[in-house]
Structure 1
């Protein structure tokens, strides 16, 4: 979209004007697609095709951002008199179904989760059992949970105020900022078990402005690091066999003179995955073991002892049931529990701090069987054997 517009004698590229605000979308998607068009050539039909292509290749979220960039550029063009109508306003809405249907933990899975976390030294050290309890009892986002201060908790009344979230914007470091909308500011009543947990962790030395869930030196915790700790804790330590296999593989890596980073780069893995394997927290299979040992110059199929270790480590374990859980699953579990208790979608959205009820219904509520009373009503309606 190389066309320019005139204002007080100066030439100005409207896309360049927006570059500071949306650099990645502009550079990676918008400019390559329509950067050579004149403003007048950017019709609604063309923009529809471009955004559909971006959605297919980069996802709906990126396509929405690109639409906002294009629409903003066209708005400037209308303001400066280059065109009379903003074609970006008329493009089709960009919608996408969730990649996975909402899945909530069952009561048995919640019990297994708490049992696993409290028995895991790493999880206890990372203060995960209490944090997970608080998130299940409130439905808050992980950043919101980490931003709660002690003066926002009323231990006697059993309530907590949610007003801020913890984030790490690029170039700004870790900050505590207000929620992204007024809907996110809410006062929540805690279930008795969540309130009891908070009373148990509150000490005489706790100051009003201290975080309820601080880092090791009493400051704010990084949500990304906390998610990583939870992923590690929920990766199953399935058996002694897995831990022994992990120690063996770690020894082979060190014997080959390799650190985790080059091994992960060679295999195209994140370093975290290699760490989880070596600590016995991933259920292995032959393909995984063969790829890893090949990197160390070892043929797995010609190493019977190692192959037997791998076979033992691949046996199912109870904790394998938790490997799918991420922090958002806790939020969905809370929403689904409220739904099953008969709360309306609006009430659940208010609990979660969401302005749009549709998001709550589509993304956070585990689908239940259709209206149970429907079968009974149909039975009464068509109970004449001559009809059916």
Structure 2
């Protein structure tokens, strides 16, 4: 009766012999060998050397265990480097993008994390070396160096890659599963504009020539009226606007993809495809734009040549417009600072390098779009080899420029604040979280509640309900 074959992925007994001796006949090298039945059904010899019998057998056992993790296709094993696994994960993600199941902008974000954090920390390790303690240590270091949001992104990428390794048979369990959850308080808790701030915002944008030139007043109005993302706003075409029924259809968003440029792509999820009804003040704004002449296949908020606008450039224009212009004294001080810089023969880039500042900070100071104080002005003047105390007139000008202005109240606003404002207004009007999530185009209500809604005061009807429930005087 023939002997039963070894099960696939297992090995037979280990034999060890002396492989090499020294001049005195003492063993200095041992060879351990075992038969291993590979996943293709073939039985092959696996060997390992060691200075002692125990070392040789231990090394062979490790090789056998690693070989047992080989997947059926032979594409991935525990001995492959993690860089190889990450390459496979990227290709799979590209396939999901081609199928319309993932966003190309997500891959751009993931590739930055791969390049800057994951590959430098893990790329040269073997897949079998990606233990839970090692991954936990790496993610903790990323959180410390780059912050919790980046660490969360890296954790998701590594988990996805290790899940792929399990599916290919290179690992038996996903080591990221037991890694400590990355938690951190939100950098900017949900904040919506008050009614007073909305009025101030619209007036400020309408009075700012640069904001009007960038078409920001109408864009801000549209975003407040709908709660859509800035990319979704820029993707709306005129044929998607029905001025008779007062509705707009949201189906796409604008994104810049590396190597492709600006593209109009479908929304993040099916929940993003929605029809929204507009308030009368938004319809009036769109009627005015429509009366100026349009083409149905053009964007509602187009650039100077009627094409799509870049969301990043539009956000930058909005940030610039909302930077505190302040009063005339602040703008006059900015002009003075620019004149002194030029008299010193310095460019903005040179000053920025000297002070280790972003170059944009110099520009904002010189255009009166940043709140200034004596310290900021003193540092600038030092770069120009000027002492502030030696110029009384300049001291007076700085004192006047540091006075608060109404526009300072708008400096915190970013494009997403308009979205949160719309969500909060609907919440205060009694709409359910599900209704608000549908308006915002979000599949998960929890995201709407956690990120976009202000926490409301405790239920005012609770006291009355408890009053009736426990009004028995014997309870007192």
> Equivalent residue for 1:306?
394
- Could you tell me which residue of structure 1 aligns to residue 457 of structure 2? 369
Alignment check: 8 A CA contact 2:82 2:124 kept: no
Give 1:99's aligned residue.
187
Verify: 1:269 aligned to 2:337, yes or no.
no
1:140 counterpart = 2:192: no
1:143–1:223: 8 Å Cα contact kept in structure 2? Answer: yes
1:235 corresponds to: 323
1:93 shift after superposition:
4.0
Give the aligned partner of residue 340 of structure 2.
252
Q: CA 1:216 to 1:27, structure 2 compared with 1: closer, same or farther past 3 Å? A: closer
Alignment map for 1:1-388 (pairs within 5 Å) = 8=74, 12-19=80-87, 21=90, 22-35=110-123, 37-203=125-291, 205-377=293-465
Shift of 1:13: 3.0
Distance apart, 1:15 and its partner CA? 2.6
Closer, same or farther in 2 for the Cα pair 1:57/1:9, shift >3 Å? closer
The 3-state SS of whatever aligns with 1:187 is strand
Larger Rg: 2
1:104 Cα deviation from its structure 2 partner? 0.5
Which stretch of the first structure deviates more once superposed, 138-147 or 174-183?
Answer: 174-183
State the shift of 1:259 in Å.
1.9
CA RMSD of aligned residues (A): 2.6
CA deviations 1:250-308 (Å, max 9, x no partner) are: 10111111222222233233332222211112221011111111111111222211111
Number of residue equivalences: 386
Which SS does the other structure have where 1:202 is aligned? Answer: helix
Q: Alpha-carbon deviation of 1:377?
A: 4.2
Q: Describe the shift of the 1:34–1:12 C-alpha distance in structure 2 as closer, same or farther (beyond 3 A).
A: closer
TM-fit CA distance, 1:158: 0.5
Q: Taking structure 1 as the reference length, what is the TM-score of the superposition?
A: 0.91
User: Residue 256 of structure 1 contacts residue 296 of structure 1 at CA under 8 Å; is this kept in 2?
Assistant: yes
- Alignment gaps of 5+ in structure 2: 1-65, 91-109
Unpaired stretches in structure 1, ≥5 consecutive residues: none
What do the CA deviations read for 1:205-248 (whole angstroms, capped 9, x no partner)?
A: 31111110111121111111111111111112211111110110
Greater Cα shift, 338-347 or 293-302: 293-302
Contact 1:338 1:348 in 2 (8 A): yes
* Per-residue deviation, 1:14: 4.2
Partners of 1:322 and 1:244 in 2: CA distance = 21
Q: 1:205 to 1:47 in 2, by over 3 A?
A: same
Structure 1 residue 138 displacement after superposition: 0.3
